[in-house]
């Protein structure tokens, strides 16, 4: 889906600037709920949100291009922590806002009751394919959260995702909603596109938002989907996929990956391998 069908509906929402959005709903520690929503239903959903929501507006634009590069250890410790539902899980990625060329190195920690804590470091977009320059930051964030699987092990680029995102602020609940369309996953040689579906994610301190309630009333329930883990499982059928199997069967299995040239990010020299790798906690 292109973003064109969304633009009239987004234009009907009151605008909010980036500084105000961050001030009112930064939510670095939060509860996330994700839904896979048919793209053709999004304009109607946005129309119903007019009394409740504001749309992020930057210089008159309301949809923005994102690219994330996910890093993992040689034995995919981050992936396996998620696949085996370890109590505390982590992701390491760079996120580049392609329209502004801004980039962040991020460490996300998933904890009890679905809470997510994010640590962020400003980064150079030309370095988005490596964590080398920010490795101390990554190690400190993981140590602070008592996550040890990546300690002493290289973190290599494993997966690249790209999509368009619209972001909404729900002022009454100080919560955010993101709508991702045109999702693409790339690993070292294959590309997968999720057409006709959007990932709608609500981000709040705990309580359900008006968007959650609207989706529930429409018969939609939160889906187990991780852009990193679900995407990698869809591309690599040899990996364990129990947490996302229903999502994969319903939405991904009918879409065959294409074989594409290897993105430049995966041509970066690999970091030296360690002798052993710590298992997930």
Report pLDDT digits (tens) over 206-220. 778 889 999 999 999
Using the CB atoms, write b or e for 81-113: b if 16+ within 10 Å.
Answer: bbbeebebbbbbbbbbbeeeeebbbbbbbbeee
Residue 236 confidence (pLDDT): 93
* Local confidence band at 144 (pLDDT 50, 70, 90 cut-offs): confident
Question: DSSP character for 252?
Answer: I
Given a cut of 50, whether residue 46 has pLDDT beyond it is yes
pTM score, whole prediction: 0.88
Given a cut of 60, whether residue 11 has pLDDT beyond it is yes
**Chain-centroid distance, C-alpha 151:** 23
Q: Are 93 and 106 in contact (CB under 8 A)?
A: yes
Overall CATH class of domain 4-263: mainly beta
Q: Are 125 and 249 in contact (CB under 8 A)?
A: no
Residue 151 confidence (pLDDT): 62
| Cα 137-143-147 angle, rounded to 5 deg | 115
The radius of gyration of the chain from alpha carbons, rounded to an integer in Å, stands at: 18
**CA–CA separation, 153 and 43 (whole Å):** 45
Torsion region of 117: left, alpha or beta (phi above 0 gives left; psi -120 to 50 gives alpha)? beta
Q: Which of 55-69, 113-127, 197-211 has the highest mean pLDDT?
A: 55-69
- Tens digit of pLDDT for each residue in 251-275? 887 676 776 666 677 765 444 444 4
Phi, psi (5° rounding) for residue 231?
-65, -40
Beta bridge partners of 258: 191
Structure tokens of 49? 């949100």
Residue 262 confidence (pLDDT): 66
């Amino acid at each position: 889906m292109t973003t064109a069908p969304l633009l009239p509906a987004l234009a009907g929402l009151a605008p909010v600037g980036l500084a105000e959005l961050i001030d009112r709903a930064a939510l670095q520690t939060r509860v996330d709920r994700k839904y896979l929503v048919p793209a053709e239903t999004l304009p109607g959903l946005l129309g119903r949100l007019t009394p409740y929501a504001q749309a992020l507006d930057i210089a008159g634009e309301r949809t923005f291009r994102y690219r994330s590069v996910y890093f993992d250890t040689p034995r995919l410790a981050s992936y396996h922590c998620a696949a085996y539902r370890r109590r505390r899980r982590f992701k390491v990625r760079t996120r580049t806002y392609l329209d502004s060329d801004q980039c962040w190195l991020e460490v996300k920690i998933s904890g009890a009751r679905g809470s997510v804590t994010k640590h962020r470091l400003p980064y150079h977009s030309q370095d988005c394919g490596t964590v080398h320059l920010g490795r101390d930051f990554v190690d400190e964030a993981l140590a602070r959260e008592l996550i040890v699987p990546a300690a002493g092990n290289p973190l290599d680029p494993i997966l690249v995702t790209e999509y368009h995102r619209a972001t909404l602020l729900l002022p009454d609940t100080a919560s955010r909603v993101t709508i991702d369309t045109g999702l693409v996953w790339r690993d070292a040689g294959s590309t997968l596109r999720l057409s006709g579906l959007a990932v709608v994610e609500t981000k709040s301190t705990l309580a359900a938002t008006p968007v959650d309630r609207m989706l529930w009333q429409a018969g939609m329930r939160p889906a187990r989907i991780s852009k990193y883990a679900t995407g990698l499982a869809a591309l690599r059928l040899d990996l364990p996929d129990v947490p996302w199997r229903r999502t994969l069967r319903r939405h991904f299995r009918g879409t065959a990956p294409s074989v594409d040239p290897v993105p430049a990010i995966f041509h970066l020299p690999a970091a030296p391998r360690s002798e052993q790798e710590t298992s997930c906690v």
